[in-house]
Amino acid sequence: MTNIEKYNEAFIESFGVTEEQLPGLAYQEIPEWDSVGHMQLIAALEDAFDIMFDTDDIIDFSSYEKGKEFMAKYEVEL
Amino acid sequence: MAFWNTLERFGERTALITETGEHIAYNALLARADEIAGAAGSRCLAFLMCRNCADAAAGYVGFLRRGIVPVLLAENLDTSMLEGLLESYRPAYFYLPSEKASELSGAMVWRGESYTLLRLPYEQDYKLPEELALLLTTSGSTGSPKLVRQSGRNIEANTRSIAEYLGILSEDRAITTLPMQYTYGLSILQSHLSVGAAVILTDKTLMDKEFWALLKEQKATTFGGVPYIYEMLKKLRFDRMNLPSLRYLTQAGGKLPKELAEEFIQTCKRKNMKFIVMYGQTEATARMAYLPWEHAESHAASIGIAIPGGEFWLADPEGAPILEPETTGELVYRGPNVTLGYAENRFDLCKPDENHGELRTGDMAKRDAKGFYYIVGRKKRFLKLFGSRVNLDEVEGLLNRAGIPCACAGVDDRLDVYITDGSLLGQAERFIKEHTAINPNGFQLHVIEEIPRNDSGKVLYSALGARP
């Protein structure tokens, strides 16, 4: 799996959404991406890429696109 | 006198702090509270849809002060569940966020910043007994009409006890992390107001940066958390955060895994904070037990001891007290905070005190030689999803009535729904998401060949629970 596939898969698995729904997807815009879902997403991404997010990045991780920007910081190229 | 009738003595001290940083003094809170309740007039039943905001808190305080009995409801209640509750209880008034008021037929009698008080057209064909002060839901996410009847004496006794054992100071500022209709959230509001302390009101969660900014700006000294909040704090690396205003944290709403409890005890110790594990139920107003901080390290998996004014004993299967330590039995609590009983509809509201100060908790526990209690299991068919109680039989009933035969089991924070007809999978998922307030991250559907039953046809839930 490529990195972008792994990144997408974390969202798809955590929220039960389809790949088509990912662009523009943002925190609290669907019932599944609430604070509980957010924790599951962060855990899924940390597992998939073997990284550990900083606190500020977890709470700034507000959309599918915004998250992509953070991944670079953890040396994950999408 | 009950604390809500003597709040005037705190005068210009700050009672509430809003998300925008506005400080509302006790005098201003009471002026608003009494105006709202005054618009409703005399003793009656009122629904209150909760948000962590000043108007909601003021409405609640006003209702208590005027003897108006509120039913506290979650904001995300599905319309059909709400209609069912309205029909079961026929409240005289509904106090709710203004934008939601337009969906209901009723006459507006008061309107504030964000809330509206509606007079509803129901005929009052039921009575409210003198001692009844408050009604709370038992399993709110399924829209169950089963409510816990709390008396003024219950609220007063439990609030005083909590303020005493936590040592809440008038300088304290609690920031909300739980909804107000949830007994743990409500108890934090009440116990702080009872000593002239302040509550910072927000519906932001730990995953919102606004929450942390507000906590820092307004120098919160405490907050409470159910187990998943502590999972979040761990994920957020709470141990590395610099939050010098925090003085202590509390935990309730389900059992924290022992390793997580130990981790937070150590983290808090390093940060010169206290971490207080507690135990309670809506049926006991809010709290029944707490683990004193000086014993936290040596008894990390314990719920501690009974709160001031209460006592525990353990019952064997015949109902006789268990005297030996380390023996499991049903945990029974006695105290002035044991509520009056349940109501299923408006005619039950006038029922007398059915508990007589004693509550069989439905939790299985043991006591060690030093007198500390440990929860080891549950007798009743319910689980906690992110702190809220979900009755498994009620979920089953809802789905069965919707034409989806199923059996429900699971563990805290994960409801497992087993169905046998795979073609109903999508329908079952939609039904739970659309017609219950169960968190979509809190349930999993499983298709199995057959629901295991014993010879008399009863579902063998233990056989379901064994599945991965």
Instruction: Give pLDDT tens digits for B143-181.
Output: 889 999 999 999 999 999 999 999 999 999 999 999 999
Nearest to B441 among A32, A54, A58 (CB): A32
Mean pLDDT of chain B: 95
Partners of A37 on chain B (C-beta within 8 Å) are 440-441
Q: How far apart are CA B167 and CA B380, in angstroms?
A: 33
Confirm if B172 and B247 have CB atoms less than 8 A apart. yes
Q: Which amino acid is at A50?
A: D
Cβ <8 Å between A31 and B209 = no
Nearest CB among B228, B235, B442 relative to A42 is that of B235
Q: What are phi and psi of B268, to 5 degrees?
A: -65, -40
Here the tokens at position B310 are 């209460």
User: What percent of chain B stands above pLDDT 90?
Assistant: 84
- pLDDT given at position B466: 52
Could you tell me the pLDDT band of residue B467, with boundaries at 50, 70 and 90?
very low
| Distant-in-sequence, close-in-space partners of B298: CB < 8 Å, separation ≥ 6 | none
pLDDT band at B457 (very low <50, low <70, confident <90, very high): confident
* Residues of chain A numbered 30-69 and touching chain B (CB < 8 Å): 31-32, 34-40, 42-43, 54-56, 58-60
Q: How far apart are CA B367 and CA B312, in angstroms?
A: 10
Question: Cβ–Cβ of B439/A36 closer than 8 Å?
Answer: yes
CB contact under 8 Å between A36 and B386, yes or no, is yes
Q: If pLDDT is split at 50, 70 and 90, which confidence band does A59 have?
A: very high
Residue B458 clears pLDDT 90, i.e. is over it: no
Q: What is the mean pLDDT of residues B10-31?
A: 98
Angle, in degrees to the nearest 10, between helices B152-166 and B183-194: 70
- What pLDDT is attached to residue B387? 82
The three-class DSSP label of residue B363 is strand
- Nearest 5 degrees, angle CA B58-CA B179-CA B347? 75
Task: Give me the residue label for tokens 């809220």.
Answer: B388
Q: Is the pLDDT of residue B182 over 80?
A: yes
Q: Which residue of A has its CA nearest to B76?
A: A31
* Coarse DSSP helix, strand, coil percentages of chain B, rounded to the nearest 5 percent: 35, 30, 40
| Nearest CA-CA partner of B39 in B93, B102, B80 | B93
Backbone angles phi, psi at A26, to 5 degrees: -135, 155
Residue with tokens 């005054």: B38
Q: Quote the tokens at residue B355.
A: 């508990």
Contact B207 A58 (CB under 8 A): yes
| A interface test, pick of B441, B443, B444, B445 with most A CB neighbours within 10 Å | B441
Which element (helix H / strand E) includes B446? strand B443-447
Any chain A CB within 8 A of the CB of B442?
yes
pLDDT digits (tens, 9 = 90+) for B266-306: 999 999 999 999 999 999 999 999 999 999 999 999 999 99
Nearest Cα to Cα of residue B107 among B33, B116, B115: B116
Chain A interface mutation, best of B141, B235, B267, highest count of A Cβ atoms under 10 Å:
B235
- pLDDT tens digits, one per residue of B208-266: 999 999 999 999 999 999 999 999 999 999 999 999 999 999 999 999 999 999 999 99
- Tokens describing residue B425: 């999978």
* Cα B223 to Cα B188: distance, rounded to the nearest angstrom: 8
B441/A contact by beta carbon, under 8 A: yes
User: Closest Cα to residue B230, out of B267, B184, B190?
Assistant: B267
Reading the block at residue B256, the tokens are 């924290």
Task: Compute the Cα dihedral for B141, B146, B152, B158 and give only its sign.
Answer: negative
Residue of B255, B231, B252 lying closest to B375 (CA atoms): B255
Measure CB to CB from residue B441 to each of A27, A40, A54 and give the nearest one. Answer: A40
B391 vs B196, higher pLDDT: B196
Residues 6+ apart with CB under 8 A from B205: A34, A35, B177, B211
User: In chain A, which residues have their Cβ closer than 8 Å to the Cβ of B442?
Assistant: 36
Token pair of B446, please?
Answer: 């499983």
Enumerate the H helices of B173-279 as residue ranges: 183-194, 209-217, 227-235, 258-270
pLDDT > 70 in chain B, percent: 99
Residue B210 vs residue B461, higher pLDDT: B210
Q: How far apart are CA B175 and CA B189, in angstroms?
A: 9
Chain B residue closest in CA terms to A35 = B207
Please compute Rg for chain A using Cα positions. Answer: 11
pLDDT at residue B468 above 80? no
Hey, where are the domains in chain A? 1-14+32-78
Confidence of residue B138 (pLDDT cuts 50, 70, 90): confident
Using CB atoms, pick whichever of A27, A37, A55 lies closest to residue B240.
A55
C-alpha B255/C-alpha B278 separation (Å) is 9
Look at residues A13, A8, A66, A53 and name the one whose alpha carbon lies nearest to residue A37.
A13
pLDDT at residue B389, as a whole number: 86
Whether A60 has a pLDDT exceeding 80, the answer reads yes
Which tokens sit at B244? 């010098």
- The three-point CA angle B321-B322-B328 to 5° equals 125
Query: Does the beta-carbon distance from A34 to B237 stay under 8 Å?
Result: no
Tell me the H-state helices in B236-306.
258-270
In this complex, is the C-beta atom of B270 within 8 Å of any C-beta atom belonging to chain A?
no
| Chain B residue with Cα closest to A62 | B208
Helix axes B26-40, B54-66, angle to 10 degrees: 60
In B, minimum Cα distance to A14 occurs at B441
Q: What is residue B464's predicted lDDT score, i.e. its pLDDT?
A: 84
Would the CB atoms of A36 and B441 count as touching at under 8 Å? Answer: yes
Cβ distance of B235 and A39 shorter than 8 Å: yes
Q: A35 vs B207: CB contact, 8 Å cut-off?
A: yes
Q: Name the phi and psi angles at B430, rounded to 5.
A: -60, -40
**pLDDT at residue B361 greater than cutoff 80:** yes
Predicted ipTM of the assembly? 0.89
A72 touches chain B (CB under 8 A): no
Residue B319 backbone class (left: φ over 0; alpha: ψ -120 to 50; beta: rest): left
The span from the CA of B266 to the CA of A32, in Å, is: 33
- Give all strands of the β-sheet with B173-175 in edge-to-edge order: B23-25, B14-17, B198-200, B173-175, B222-225, B248-251, B274-280, B287-290, B305-306
Asked if pLDDT for residue B425 goes beyond 90, the answer is yes
**Three-state DSSP class for residue B148:** strand
Q: Is the predicted pLDDT of residue B456 greater than 80, yes or no?
A: no
